[in-house]
Amino acid sequence: MCSIFGMFDLQPGDDLGALRRQALELSQRQRHRGPDWSGVFVDEGAILVHERLAIVDPTSGAQPLRSRDGVLALAVNGEIYNHRELRAASSYDFTTGSDCEVINALYREQAATDVAGDFVNKLNGIFAFALWDGAAKRYVIARDPIGVCPLYWGHDAQGRLCVASEMKALATLCADVAPFPPGHVYDSAVGELRQYYKKDWREYENTRGHDLTPAALRQAFEQAVHRQLMTDVPYGVLLSGGLDSSLVAACAAQFARERIEDNDRSEAWWPRLHSFAIGLEGSPDLAAAQIAADALGTVHHGFIYTFAEGLDAIPEVIRHIETYDVTTIRAATPMYLLARRIKAMGVKMVLSGEGSDEIFGGYLYFHKAPSAEAFHEETVRKLDTLHSYDCLRANKSMMAWGVEARVPFLDLEFLDTAMGLDAKHKMAGNGKIEKHVLREAFDGALPKEILWRQKEQFSDGVGYGWIDGLKDHAEQSVSDREFAAAAARYPFNTPTTKEAYFYRRIFEQHYPSEACAATVPGGKSIACSSPAAIAWDPSFAAAADPSGRAVKGVHEKALA
């Protein structure tokens, strides 16, 4: 994973030298995402800059990727997990071993008939890309269906369209900076944004009556993990000791000894699987992660951070993750500190468990779902907003230190399998714990105390003193007078707690424009502000604290 910067709609009178220097300077603001190499492409109509984190084909996969005839230039942030299948089926003249070059191939083979760029539907991966066709003076911009990879766009004062992996590269350039929507493509030949990712499973009626055997669900997820283990550099797994990260680790441990890029025919270059966890002294996650690691036989690294270290990091965390959402910042801070430790050990890629809670209804308020249809509709809504919360957190907090986070639960093939399952099989309550269908599928793969461990939000699991300490610090840092005037200072997404005000104040220092503030959809947890959650149980309306502990009658029982 890397970073991209693109500038399009250049005019004949533009000073290409000056624009090149400007593009390089702006791209440098996101170089933490790609510290291994930088590449620049300049044409009369476009400029592309790429900051590379070399994971696959580190010797020849430098970007922007050019076609043999020099007509196409491509800058990609992401990984294409089905690139070998696409490459084998293509007649394109490839110039590198990069997994991302198949995007050039698909475009070249379908450009004449596929005006809107729907070729991106053939990709199974996480990606944000900008492609320039010099012959047609045409460009195509697209983002992966779930929005695992960040992408922003906007216009400069002269009307040029600009795109970048992180908002910080555009914040001072584009007054209209905004997130590029997941599952969409912009093709300059058409001149409009179009949604390319549309699935039947979004409607509950299309899933009604669909069942899966536990073995089929398990196999589908194991295959997703296997696909995402393609790498030519050292990797590991994030292991909090919760269900999701432990299942990722259990599956990865099965395949760690063979080289995925060689179709499992040769020994892996790094055959021992390393796992990583972080927490305050005595945190629930550290203890659970050690149990899981011992059972799986990983080389485990459990790191302890202090409250002071976490608090000191928050301004940089907010600058990197570009949000003021309370839950996101709480969870991103220990993840950011963990990423720094992982980077220091020479690891460049990790697998993580994001997405499981959205697919299987793992948040504790799902216990209150009144019907399978309501349950399913809420999982779809959660997936639609995931790019603004957990995907944003995992990607940006890890990439702050040049560590790529991959998310097998959001593998597109697995997503079709899991979301095609009738939600009646996923529902919790009446004696069933959340995500029981997933737990049953992996019976025997983990110790029971891990497989049946109840949901804790990551910011809770690292140690309850973390959240409590943040609240206390915010109480001291934000005066009553400041907080009373919150609506006047922040009329958009007005902070409702002093902790939220504290984060918003830091965010404003880095991103003062109204457009930047508008990129954050809300100032508190999407779980607690969910209209569905409030409808299921009106007590959620008063749940200003997005901690998992705020779900009354569920989490307390788990701690008893």
Just list the catalytic residues. 2
Instruction: Please measure the distance between the N-terminal and C-terminal CA atoms of the chain and give it in whole angstroms.
Output: 42
Residues of the chain by 3-state class (helix, strand, coil), percent to 5? 45, 15, 40
Cα distance between residue 254 and residue 276, in whole Å: 17
- The C-alpha angle with vertex 544 and arms to 539 and 547, in degrees rounded to 5, equals 95
Measured CA to CA, the distance from residue 130 to residue 141 in angstroms comes to 5
Q: How far is CA 262 from CA 152, 232, 529, in A?
A: 35, 11, 46
As a whole number of angstroms, the distance between CA 268 and CA 155 comes to 45
327, amino acid identity: T
Query: What are the strands of the beta sheet with 184-187, ordered from one edge?
Result: 65-66, 72-80, 125-133, 138-143, 184-187, 192-195
Collect all residues with Cβ–Cβ distance below 8 Å to 476 and sequence separation of at least 6.
Answer: none
When computed from its CA atoms, the radius of gyration of the chain, rounded to whole angstroms, is 23
| Separation of alpha carbons 125 and 144, rounded Å | 7
- From the list 182, 175, 195, 174, the residue with the least C-alpha distance to 8 is 174
Number of helical H runs and strand E runs in the chain: 22, 17
What distance lies between CA 105 and its chain's CA centroid?
A: 26
Residue that is written with structure tokens 């960040």 in the block: 150
Cα–Cα distance measured from residue 491 to residue 484, given in angstroms and rounded to the nearest whole number: 12
Q: How far apart are CA 113 and CA 121, in angstroms?
A: 15
Tell which residue, 330, 328, 450, has the closest CA to residue 385. 328
- d(C-alpha 131, C-alpha 119), whole Å: 13
99 carries a ligand binding annotation:
yes
Q: Looking at the DSSP assignment, which residues form a beta bridge with residue 394?
A: none
Q: How many CA atoms lie within 13 A of 453 on its CB side?
A: 23
| 468 annotated to a ligand binding site | no
Classify the C-alpha dihedral 42-47-51-52 as positive or negative: negative
DSSP 119: G
Give the residue among 140, 128, 511, 520 at the shortest CA–CA distance from 323: 520
Sheet of 299-304, strands arranged across = 299-304, 274-279, 235-238, 349-351, 404-406
Place of tokens 């984060």: 503
245 annotated ligand binder? no
Question: Known binding site: residues?
Answer: 99, 238, 278, 352-353
Question: Known binding site for L-glutamine: residues?
Answer: 99
Question: Known binding site for ATP: residues?
Answer: 238, 278, 352-353
